[in-house]
Amino acid sequence: QFSFQENGWGASLAERLVRKCDVVNRGLSGYNTRWAKLILPRLITKSSGAESTVAVTIFFGANDSALKDLNPKQHVPLEEYAANLKSMIQYLKSVDVTEDRIILITPPPLQESAWEKECLAKGDKLNRCNATTGEYAQACVQVARDCGTDVLDLWTLMQKNQDFSSYLSDGLHLSTKGNSFVAAQLWSRLEKKLSALPSLLPYWRDVDHTNPEASLL
């Protein structure tokens, strides 16, 4: 949901793709795969032009991996998380979005001390831990392997920079730098698919102003 905020990764991709294709945001803050699996058929259908869909990203795990005892509302067991991802991939394939157009995104790493401050400010205990998030990220990567989709392993890539806290605004959600990182990583995967897309309608200088119908219809 936050990907279309100022400097968000969704907004960055939309800017790169203006007049080539629409970037549609269907992110839902706080949701997990258990809920997303149920509503996906409402979000993407055959009649909504699935055959012209260039790519679909599935980005879950930060909420699923919340600790069961401390955050039972969002928590989803690891095995169910993997099964839910597979279910969403199977649904997309059933509406003609093939696996080569699906990109799974793992949860980013969790910066525990920063997120603990957020939790304590609300009167809660630390309700996530990075090692657990890593297990969900590994499961996401394995689902991608099993199903033949692409995957962006944020959890691993962000930790190659030893201090990954700059990628996160509060220990959990992406910062401006984190959004830029996601946009760049996704673009490297999308560029080949999208670079050949023609621009919609001619550049204004190329329109025949004496006979615009000839250029535009």
Residues 149-169 pLDDT 10s: 999 999 999 999 778 999 999
The tokens describing 79, both together, are 């095995």
Q: If you average pLDDT over every residue of the chain, what do you get?
A: 93
Q: Which residue has the tokens 């603990």?
A: 116
CATH of the domain at 130: 3.40.50.1110
Counting the structural domains of the chain, the total is 1
- Residue type, position 143, single letter: V
- For residue 41, what are the CA distances in angstroms to 48, 50, 118? 11, 12, 34
Q: Which domain holds residue 36?
A: 2-215
- When pLDDT is averaged across residues 68-89 and rounded to a whole number, the result is 97
Give the span between the Cα atoms of 99 and 119, in whole angstroms: 38
pTM over 0.85, yes/no: yes
pLDDT, tens digit, for every residue of 124-155? 999 999 999 999 999 999 999 999 999 999 99
pLDDT of residue 49: 65
Burial class (CB in 10 A: 0-12, 13-18, 19+), 33: buried
Q: Percent of the chain, pLDDT > 90?
A: 82
Judge whether 2 and 29 are in contact, CB under 8 Å. yes
